[in-house]
Amino acid sequence: MSRHKKKLCQRRGPPGFCAAVQSKPQLLAWLTCDAVHIDPASGKHTILGVFSNIRARQFPVTHPYMVWFMVLTDVAPGPHRLRISLGLDPTRMAPLIERDFESGGPLQRINLINGLTNLSFAAPGDYSILVEVDDEPLLATNLNVTT
């Protein structure tokens, strides 16, 4: 069990009864896009240029800028650690993003914007992506890079 996981107290049964339950983070959304704009007045997020693959004429290729946007819920209150890893070989992935974030509790929806600058791809293929919170895998997906 991760040091970041915390037990939550939930009322069930007769008054005064409190059962401890584990909250496992849930990934509500995962998008690869060009940018995310946050409206300063409303706080609303606008997602720009969603894509699921990258095309290149030659390799290696460097993608100048992309964003991995995600929405989490069911995250226990307190500090947490996000790690996103990438690799052509799913058994040898390298962490690209490691960052801390806070949760106010399991009912909060947490929007995380993860910008990547000058991401290089050595060869075409399906690049595996692994998203983890507190060392627990939440998503295994891929980004297709083709000619």
DSSP 18-42: EEEEEPPPEEEEEEEESEEEE-TTT
**pLDDT over 60 (residue 13):** no
Cis peptide before 25 (omega within 30 of 0): no
Contacts of 106 (CB under 8 A, 6+ apart): 8, 23, 73, 74, 75, 76, 77
Sorting pLDDT into bands at 50, 70 and 90, what band is 56? very high
Q: Which two tokens stand for residue 20?
A: 């401890």
Comparing CA positions, the residue from 115, 62, 48, 61 lying closest to residue 84 is: 115
80 touches 134 (CB < 8 A): yes
H/E stretch holding 45: strand 45-48
Q: Which two tokens stand for residue 120?
A: 């290089």
In this structure, the number of other CB atoms found within 10 A of the CB of residue 144 comes to: 12
**pLDDT over 60 (residue 5):** no
Comparing CA positions, the residue from 101, 115, 133 lying closest to residue 38 is: 115
Report which residue type is found at 130.
Answer: L
Please tell me the predicted confidence (pLDDT) of residue 6.
41
**pLDDT over 80 (residue 1):** no
- What pLDDT, in 10s, does the model give residues 22-49? 668 999 999 999 999 999 999 999 999 9
Q: What is the pTM of this model?
A: 0.83
Comparing CA positions, the residue from 20, 26, 7 lying closest to residue 133 is: 26
What end-to-end distance do the CA atoms of the chain give, in Å?
42
- What pLDDT, in 10s, does the model give residues 110-130? 999 999 999 999 999 999 999
- Domains of the chain, CATH where assigned: 24-146 (2.60.40.3880)
